[in-house]
Amino acid sequence: MYSSNEIIETINMISQQHLDVRTITLGISLLDCITDSKKRTCEKIYDKIMSKAGNLVKIGNDISSEIGVPIVNKRISVTPVSLISAASKGHLEIIHTLDKIADETGIDFLGGYSALVHKAMTPYEKEFIRSIPEALSQTNKICSSINVATSKAGINMDAVALMGKIVKECAYMTRDKDSLACAKLVVFANAVEDNPFMAGAFLGTGEDDTVVNVGVSGPGVVKTALESCHGDLTEVAECIKQTAFKITRVGQLVAKEASNRLNASFGIVDLSLAPTPVVGDSVARILEEIGLESVGAYGTTACLAMLNDAVKKGGIMACSSVGGLSGAFIPVSEDAGMIKAAQIGALNLEKLEAMTAVCSVGLDMIAIPGDTTAEVISGIIADEIAIGVVNTKTTAVRVIPVYGKKAGEYAEFGGLLGRAPIMNINKYSPAKFINRGGRIPAPLHSNKN
Amino acid sequence: MKAIVSVVGKDKKGIIAKVSTCLYEMNINIENISQTIMQDYFTMIMAVDTADCPVKFDGIKQHLNELGKQTGVEIHIQLQSIFDSMHTLDTSDKEL
């Protein structure tokens, strides 16, 4: 039996330190829905998802009530739609079906309007990618991701060049909402098949028919634990580890129970410190608690490397299967401390890029000026993707060139997506490099056989 | 189902009486009680079994919540598995 102190500790973690399970994401394979008829494919998709996920929100809410821990989002991820629609060319019909499903089930997001083009794009995949701006601007809860590189294949620079244009187009299509569509689109290197987090969730072809993946959270819990840790950095790392263990155990419990009740496989727990814009739920504040005046100061990358590593070490023993993106997230608009640091000029894009080399997952939710060119966006993508490819890790880019706005102004997205100060960027052009196209070959160390 | 009822608030007369009466009325068995005063705050932890309780878990929560409001204390009920998970090292899979 545990002591009263332990029980009070748990209650305080939930009520005062924002401990939550960020998401239960039910992965559903759509491979058995492929037909050469648009109508028939959509019908099969509708029937399958509704039969598997009709109760997802209720089950999530029940578990949350019983253990007393908020489960913030209930989400669905599906097989990359480009694979499902290739035979019928029915991607736009499918996205409207998925949007309808998202509304009827009451889930928060549905991910998987995705294509994996890390080595090359088929003609149909190009057509599919070109549909993303229309797809994301006409729907509310659908998220899209494109994998443009892997450590094994190198970087598909044709896809990188195309994605710069697509991001711009998404921004224009939702110009009345601060270019919100860009917040639902992520460009990946080394995308994972079992990610529960949006906007990058899809269910890989190596996965089971229905799979529960859970993403945990809890930056506020780590920050509070560190407030009473006055030791050296070894002790700080140990404190983070022990706290991460407790947080992850909650994820394990929820994942196990949700998979039982949904009659789905237990997939993975994503060991993540995912912030929200709420005060006291910030990854940046953890780094500042360790001893930085502001996140972005010299030392930030080192602190973040230690935090990320300690979270994994604590979490790995706490659950039976770890996966997804697993690490500390640093989305700028979704973290009160990051927003503040960007506001006061302590944090710039270059420092953020360095930080992504040691944590999960990339340049995330960063607002940039609306007049940024497609080539510059492709350059930002290429740099971030190169970090992932060379370091054999997942990296991603989710930038928002906010239409009609300049550096220093704000983009307002609301909810979990938060608000972002528009950051200054380097204006020199990488256009010639981007327009060369082709593929950057895989790094030497990827040839491990 | 095994659950933990926790009561935290300013110390006053009759808190235990009221909470245990409420649990008794819902046919919930109390298996263990520990109670302390920490920094003037009354803290009580009850291990209970809801197996014979006809009320659904949400209903139990609501009853205790209302009682908490009337009495001026905070009352939570959560399944025991959340505490087992967080505070024991046993990594075998827990069921709710």
Q: Is A435 exposed, middle or buried (0-12, 13-18, 19+ CB in 10 A)?
A: exposed
Partner residue opposite B82 with nearest CB, options A69, A256, A320:
A69
Q: Which residue of A has its CA nearest to B83?
A: A7
| Whether the Cβ atoms of residue A73 and residue A106 lie closer than 8 Å to each other | no
The reported pLDDT for the residue numbered B91 is: 52
- Where do we find the tokens 């700028």? A332
A249 and B86 within 8 Å at the Cβ level: the answer is yes
Q: Looking at CA atoms only, how far is residue B83 from chain A in angstroms?
A: 7
Partner residue opposite A4 with nearest CB, options B34, B94, B96:
B34
CATH number belonging to the domain at A215-229+270-439, selected among 3.30.365.10, 3.40.50.150, 3.60.20.30, 3.20.70.20: 3.20.70.20
Q: Looking at CA atoms only, how far is residue A229 from chain B in angstroms?
A: 20
pLDDT of B95 > 80? The answer is no
What are the tens digits of pLDDT across the range A33-56? 999 999 999 999 999 999 999 999
The DSSP annotation for A157-189 comes to HHHHHHHHHHHHHHHHHTGGGTTGGGGGEEEEE
Residue B11: pLDDT band with limits 50, 70, 90: confident
Residue B33: pLDDT band with limits 50, 70, 90: very high
What are the tens digits of pLDDT across the range A359-401? 988 999 999 999 999 999 999 999 999 999 999 999 999 999 9
The reported pLDDT for the residue numbered A268 is: 95
Chain A CB within 8 Å of residue B8 CB: yes
pLDDT of A330 > 80? The answer is yes
Question: Domain B2-87 falls in which CATH fold?
Answer: Alpha-Beta Plaits (3.30.70)
Biggest CA pair distance of chain B: 42
Structure token digits, residue B18: 């009221």
- Where do we find the tokens 């908020």? A70
What contacts A392, CB < 8 A, 6 or more positions away? A151, A190, A445, A446
Percent of chain A with pLDDT over 90: 87
Q: Which residue of B has its CA nearest to A4?
A: B45
Chain B residues in contact with A249 (beta carbon < 8 A)? 85-86
Number of A to B CB contacts under 8 A, please give it: 73
B82 and A250 within 8 Å at the Cβ level: the answer is yes
Chain A CB within 8 Å of residue B80 CB: no
What are the tens digits of pLDDT across the range A121-144? 999 999 999 999 999 999 999 999
Chain A CB within 8 Å of residue B57 CB: yes
Q: Looking at CA atoms only, how far is residue A337 from chain B in angstroms?
A: 28
B94 and A11 within 8 Å at the Cβ level: the answer is no
Partner residue opposite A66 with nearest CB, options B79, B86, B94:
B79
Domain boundaries, chain A: 215-229+270-439
CA distance A238 to A240: 5
Q: Is A293 exposed, middle or buried (0-12, 13-18, 19+ CB in 10 A)?
A: exposed
E strand or H helix at A338: helix A336-343
Q: Looking at CA atoms only, how far is residue B22 from chain A in angstroms?
A: 19
Structure token digits, residue A407: 């550096």
Q: What is the three-class DSSP state of B11?
A: coil
Residue A239: pLDDT band with limits 50, 70, 90: very high
Partner residue opposite A67 with nearest CB, options B36, B47, B78:
B78
The reported pLDDT for the residue numbered A16 is: 83
pLDDT of A74 > 90? The answer is yes
Partner residue opposite B94 with nearest CB, options A7, A246, A256:
A256
Partner residue opposite A11 with nearest CB, options B36, B76, B91:
B76
Q: Which residue of A has its CA nearest to B44?
A: A4
Pairing of strands B41-49, B29-38: antiparallel
Domain boundaries, chain B: 2-87
Chain A residues in contact with B65 (beta carbon < 8 A)? none
